[in-house]
């Protein structure tokens, strides 16, 4: 058996869909290259994503395993209770992971030779090293977010944190993040910076970021030309960095179209309502605003109605993903929250609402002209690959800093953070779709081409993936 066939990589994402999706793409790419892969989920996500296990019919070298996350079965595991999941995984899942990895490394017919763990799962890296297994960190957020996190000690020392949330405080420029002095405002820092310094979740990130620099090997879902300056600041912290993004574009360049088509249902982590594609077929070219705030975002009913009014009042056709677990579902809105007639009529005339959509297909559809997004890193990259201008409404994690980069660094969209009123939403949608569209499209066309070039043969991400695979094999 040659080294390529002996290579066995275990991928372990943090148990949230935004972290699972990119690592699943990496799993497919590694399997396509002939490596054996074990994809490790928590029991809860393993049950919720049962359709993923059928990927093994396409990739014979892919298998799925699961371990407990330590939370009760009926725990909502949403972003409002993210701390419960973080601390439970760290305390309960850690020993379970040790046992599983030890078994897969000693009793398995094909021992694990490499562990690639999520950037906020440092215990998995530590355990892999203890067992003498090659270990790498996969960072699911943006590189600009990572750099701001790496600067947390300086931000604390400079008295920049916590961000208090007062109007005069939010617009102040941030000192302590090299290369971003004239760009980064306090409101653009990742949302954990709005927590008190002794807050357990803030401390969780401080500890994880300190640990990540001990990993030495880092994998980023980004590409060199997108964040060259940021990467230059991150590089000294690691012995090796592999920029292999956008992963969705790499899948397109590496795997044949027919196979990708058959994989599309698996790459949608939730079941998508495909009726929206038929609706899009009936809409004019580049006329539709696609609206999705990701897999974990939560909005209040008040925010729901502000967005709804803004969308209807903009006069643009819109396709809106409204998750049942993201708010009180629209169908259940009653009494004082009853849907006004103008929203009923406006939506009937030019709107379409779904629980979940096949996002990459939607963004690639010729009818879609703009993307109203939460600025999660996966969505940001998917918007770039599709070349669709973005209007950003960030709430958690790296979304605040991503939206700043979208609007002010790459100039491929507009930033609407910390604002949720119908008149602003209407105005910003019209700006994205009409008044400022030409200037945004010029920048987006350039960035989208760079993404395409990086992921295709001869490009930096294509080359870096080859190098990553060779280095995984070489360590056996």
Catalytic annotation present for 46: no
Tokens of 278: 């038929």
Is the distance from CB of 124 to CB of 115 less than 8 angstroms?
yes
Q: What is the pLDDT of residue 328?
A: 47
What whole-number distance in Å separates Cα of residue 416 and Cα of residue 419?
A: 6
Strands lying side by side in the sheet with 368-373? 351-354, 318-321, 288-292, 368-373, 390-392, 413-415
User: What's the fold here for domain 3-263+456-474?
Assistant: Rossmann fold (3.40.50)
- Which residues have C-beta within 8 Å of that of residue 386, sequence separation ≥ 6? 360, 363, 364, 368, 371, 448
- Each residue's pLDDT expressed in tens, for the chain with a length of 476 residues: 466 668 999 999 999 889 999 999 999 999 999 999 999 999 888 888 877 777 777 888 999 999 998 889 888 887 778 888 889 998 999 999 999 999 998 777 789 999 999 999 999 999 999 999 999 999 999 999 999 999 999 899 888 888 887 777 788 888 888 888 889 999 999 989 999 999 999 999 999 999 998 888 999 999 999 999 999 999 999 999 999 999 999 999 988 655 555 555 555 566 788 999 999 999 999 999 999 998 777 788 889 999 999 999 999 999 999 877 655 444 445 444 577 888 888 888 899 999 899 999 999 999 999 999 999 999 999 999 999 999 999 998 899 999 999 999 999 999 999 989 999 999 999 999 999 999 999 999 999 999 999 999 999 999 999 999 999 998 75
Across-strand partners of 414? 391
Q: What is the pLDDT of residue 329?
A: 46
Tokens of 42: 């928590």
- For the chain, give every domain's residue range: 3-263+456-474, 271-452
Coil, helix or strand for 122? helix
Q: What is the pLDDT of residue 258?
A: 55
**Residue 349 dihedral angles phi and psi, to the nearest 5°:** -75, -40
CA distances from 392 to 374, 412, 443 (A): 6, 11, 16
Catalytic annotation present for 118: yes
Coil, helix or strand for 150? helix
| Nearest of 224, 269, 221, 270 to residue 246 by alpha carbon | 221
- Chain centre distance of CA 430: 26
Q: Of 69, 118, 224, 398, which residue is the catalytic one?
A: 118
Helix or strand (DSSP H, E) at 321:
strand 318-321
| Nearest of 354, 417, 419 to residue 187 by alpha carbon | 417
Tokens of 57: 């019919």
Q: What is the pLDDT of residue 377?
A: 97
214-241 residues labelled b (16+ CB within 10 A) or e (exposed) = ebbbbbbbbbbbbbeebbebbeebbeeb
Q: Of 8, 19, 46, 309, which residue is the catalytic one?
A: 19
For the chain, the C-alpha Rg in angstroms (whole number) is 22
Q: What is the pLDDT of residue 334?
A: 47
Phi and psi based region of residue 294 (left: phi greater than 0; alpha: psi -120 to 50; beta: remaining)? left
Coil, helix or strand for 279? helix
Percent of residues in the chain assigned helix, strand, coil, to nearest 5: 55, 15, 35
Q: What is the CATH number of domain 271-452?
A: 3.40.50.2000
Q: What is the pLDDT of residue 335?
A: 46
What whole-number distance in Å separates Cα of residue 39 and Cα of residue 52?
A: 10
């Amino acid at each position: 058996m040659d080294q390529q066939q002996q290579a066995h990589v275990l991928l372990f994402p943090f148990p949230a869909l935004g972290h699972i999706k990119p690592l699943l793409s990496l799993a497919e790419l590694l399997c396509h290259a002939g490596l054996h892969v074990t994809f490790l989920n928590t029991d809860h996500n393993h049950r919720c994503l049962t359709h993923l296990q059928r990927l093994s019919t396409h990739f014979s070298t892919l298998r799925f395993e699961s371990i407990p996350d330590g939370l009760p079965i009926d725990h909502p595991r949403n972003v409002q209770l993210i701390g419960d999941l973080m601390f439970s995984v760290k305390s309960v899942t850690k020993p379970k992971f040790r046992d599983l990895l030890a078994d897969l490394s000693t009793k398995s017919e094909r021992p694990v030779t490499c562990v690639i763990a999520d950037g906020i799962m440092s215990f998995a890296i530590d355990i892999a090293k203890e067992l003498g297994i090659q270990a790498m960190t996969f960072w699911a957020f943006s590189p600009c977010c990572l750099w701001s996190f790496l600067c947390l000690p300086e931000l604390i020392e400079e008295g920049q944190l916590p961000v208090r949330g007062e109007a005069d405080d939010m617009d102040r420029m941030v000192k302590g993040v090299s290369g971003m002095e004239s760009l980064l405002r306090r409101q653009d820092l990742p949302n954990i910076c709005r927590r008190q310094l002794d807050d357990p979740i803030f401390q969780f990130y401080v500890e994880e970021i300190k640990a990540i620099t001990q990993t030495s090997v880092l994998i980023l879902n980004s590409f060199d030309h997108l964040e060259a300056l940021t990467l230059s600041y991150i590089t000294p912290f690691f012995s090796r960095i592999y920029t292999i993004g956008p992963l969705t574009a790499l899948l397109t360049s590496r795997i044949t179209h027919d196979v990708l088509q058959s994989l599309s249902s698996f790459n949608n982590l939730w079941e998508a309502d495909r009726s929206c594609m038929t609706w899009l077929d009936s809409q004019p070219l580049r006329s539709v605003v696609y609206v999705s705030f990701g897999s974990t975002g939560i909005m209040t009913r008040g925010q729901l109605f502000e967005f709804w009014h803004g969308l209807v009042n903009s006069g643009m056709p819109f396709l809106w993903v409204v998750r049942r677990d993201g708010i009180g579902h629209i169908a259940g809105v009653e009494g004082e929250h009853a849907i006004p007639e103008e929203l009923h009529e406006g939506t009937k005339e030019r709107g379409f609402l779904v629980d979940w959509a096949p996002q990459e297909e939607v963004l690639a559809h010729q009818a879609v002209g703009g993307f109203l997004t939460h600025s999660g890193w996966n969505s940001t990259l998917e918007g770039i690959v599709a070349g669709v201008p973005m209007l950003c409404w960030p709430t958690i994690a790296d979304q605040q800093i991503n939206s700043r980069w979208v609007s002010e660094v790459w100039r491929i969209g507009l930033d609407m953070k910390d604002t949720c009123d119908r008149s602003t939403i209407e105005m910003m949608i019209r700006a994205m779709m009409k008044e400022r569209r030409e200037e945004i499209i010029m920048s987006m066309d350039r960035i989208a081409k760079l993404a395409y070039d990086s992921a295709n043969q001869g490009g930096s991400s294509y080359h870096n993936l080859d190098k990553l695979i060779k280095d995984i094999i070489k360590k056996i």
